[in-house]
Structure 1
Amino acid sequence: MALLLGKGRYRARLAQSPEDVAAAQDLRTLAFGTGQPDKDDFDPVCAHILIEDARANHQIVCCFRMLTIEHGSEIDRSYSARFYDLAALRGFEGRMVEMGRFCIHPDWTDPDILRVAWGAMTTYVDKNNIEMLFGCSSFAGTETAEYLDAFAMLKHRHLAPKRWLPRVKAPNVFRFAARLRRKPDAKKAMLRMPPLLRTYLMMGGWVSDHAVVDRHMNTLHVFTGLEIGAIPPARKRLLRAVAG
């Protein structure tokens, strides 16, 4: 077992077999509720992280997958590139990891699961000299109305630097940076912000200026990037304390 991290009742490990990958796919199918098995042609080329609950017969309670690319010139082979024009990121020179298909079992609500997930990611980043994390961060559903404060907050505080800004590629998008004029209500914004995206933002992450309306997955998602070198030192210490 390729253990990445053990904290309390939870263990994070790398998938080691087709059965492990199938278990991750089963959890994704349950969590995403799309009505069909959640598997695609990225699964065979990704590393899969499984988080198990040792107190529940090692039930898998969280999973995500990682696609490692050597530098930005390979960005177009990522899952995200199917939805976003990522030409600006082709100039990124360091190693990158796309983090995708993140989900937590709907019967588990312990916030420690997300902490362990980030601890496992930190371990992977450190061991593999990763310089940027990226992926698609999803809001549940495809209606924008309930997320307007969250999108306004993204516009005012968290847009990607111009040198990395993704451009529109998908046919159906919500151009929140161009359309929203409201000042965000910070409390409402953070309540509606997905937990995974909230964590990215706390570490200095940034997003695209538009959200993709993905009716297949029944989500709105924004491209999200995080340069490892830009993570505040205090936040790095916290992550490494979990990972340690």
Structure 2
Amino acid sequence: MQPDEASRHGRPGASGGLSVAFATSEAEREACYRLRYRVFVEEMGARIPAGHAGLERDGFDPHCHHLMVRDADGLVVACTRVLTDTQARLTGGFYSEQEFDLAGIRELPGRVMEIGRTCVDPGWRRGGTIAALWAGLARFMADNRFGYLIGCASIPMGDGGATARAISDHLNHCHPAPADRRVRPRRPLPPLVGERAGVSPRLPPLLKAYMRLGATVAGEPCWDPAFGCADLFILLESADLQARYLRHFVERRRGAEVRPVGAHIAA
């Protein structure tokens, strides 16, 4: 990777026993890949190529900045990766372009960054951890003057897709992106198996965090058979993030207990 924005501030901040930092060594990046393996492969059942030895990674990772949330002992409990518009041009596009036609997104004014592979250790799935992760992202966006954040938010398909469709319908109705910023999935969801009546559009925690920060949903989801999930394309403007972050997460984080008892922590 060429020297880029993250190298100018490798440590966005720390608070309440949780610290937020960009990985600056291969060992730190591998800690993120191990957490991703446990969450996406062992917990969610994602199918990845053989030979990765407990690491979940792909060809985009060498071009991304990897943001970590660590506990007081320095162990990675949450992570996400950031692909900037600069790096996307060098790699041939954003990861989400594999799943969506981004014609409208390519016309956005200003800088665009993409986040992906966001995951949180099961023992740390609480508001304080997600707030810490977004604190790092918010600072990165502000410091480097990104106008937009994009990404794919995943919804499990274990029930045949009923919940994914219910969530998609709800969010496209309540939080729609403008018409000129809508995207088209390259692989629509497969036909629904079973009944959908009575299915609640209950949002996964990370997707709920997107909505609280002012994100919009830019169309129908794409089916990701390798990860067994439906991916919704999320668009967030930096002006909304700054205002809503302060309102929804900063106050909550001040009073959060950030060290759970008996939690499973990544090595």
With the shorter chain as reference, the TM-score category is 0.7 to 0.9
**Paired residue for 2:70, among 30, 49, 52?**
52
Q: Report the counterpart of residue 24 of structure 2 in structure 1.
A: 16
> How far apart in 2 are the matches of 1:27 and 1:198?
21
TM-score, normalised by the number of residues in structure 1: 0.83
Q: Tell me whether 1:64 sits opposite 2:80 in the alignment.
A: yes
Residue 112 to residue 151, structure 1, CA distance change in 2 (3 Å)? same
Q: Report the counterpart of residue 229 of structure 2 in structure 1.
A: 219
CA contact (8 A) 1:64 1:101 kept: yes
Over aligned residues, Cα RMSD in angstroms?
Answer: 3.1
Instruction: Render the CA deviation track for 1:35-61: whole Å, top value 9, x for unaligned.
Output: 64311111111000111110xx32210
> How far apart in 2 are the matches of 1:236 and 1:207?
18
Name the stretch that deviates more: 58-67 or 108-117.
108-117
CA contact (8 A) 1:75 1:86 kept: no
Higher relative contact order (CA 8 A, sep 6+): 2
> How far apart in 2 are the matches of 1:69 and 1:236?
23
Q: Tell me whether 1:102 sits opposite 2:118 in the alignment.
A: yes
Name the stretch that deviates more: 62-71 or 115-124.
62-71
How much has 1:230 moved relative to structure 2?
3.8
Q: Report the counterpart of residue 173 of structure 2 in structure 1.
A: 156
CA contact (8 A) 1:29 1:35 kept: no
Aligned residue runs from structure 1 range 90-239, under 5 A? 90-141=106-157, 143-170=160-187, 172-173=188-189, 188-189=200-201, 192-231=202-241, 233=243, 235-238=244-247
**Aligned sequence identity (%):** 26
Instruction: Render the CA deviation track for 1:185-240: whole Å, top value 9, x for unaligned.
Output: 9xx43xx212222122222211132111111011111111101134483x243378
TM-score, normalised by the number of residues in structure 2: 0.76
Letter paired with 2:215: G
> How far apart in 2 are the matches of 1:23 and 1:231?
28
How much has 1:132 moved relative to structure 2?
0.3
Higher strand proportion, which one?
1
Name the stretch that deviates more: 24-33 or 146-155.
146-155
> How far apart in 2 are the matches of 1:60 and 1:153?
33
> How far apart in 2 are the matches of 1:122 and 1:239?
13
> How far apart in 1 are the matches of 2:88 and 2:101?
13
**Paired residue for 1:30, among 25, 38, 54?**
38
SS at match of 2:155: strand
> How far apart in 2 are the matches of 1:164 and 1:175?
26
Q: Report the counterpart of residue 179 of structure 1 in structure 2.
A: none
Name the stretch that deviates more: 14-23 or 64-73.
64-73
Letter paired with 2:183: P
> How far apart in 1 are the matches of 2:127 and 2:223?
28
Q: Unaligned 5+ residue runs, structure 1?
A: 177-181
Number of aligned residues: 231
SS at match of 1:159: coil
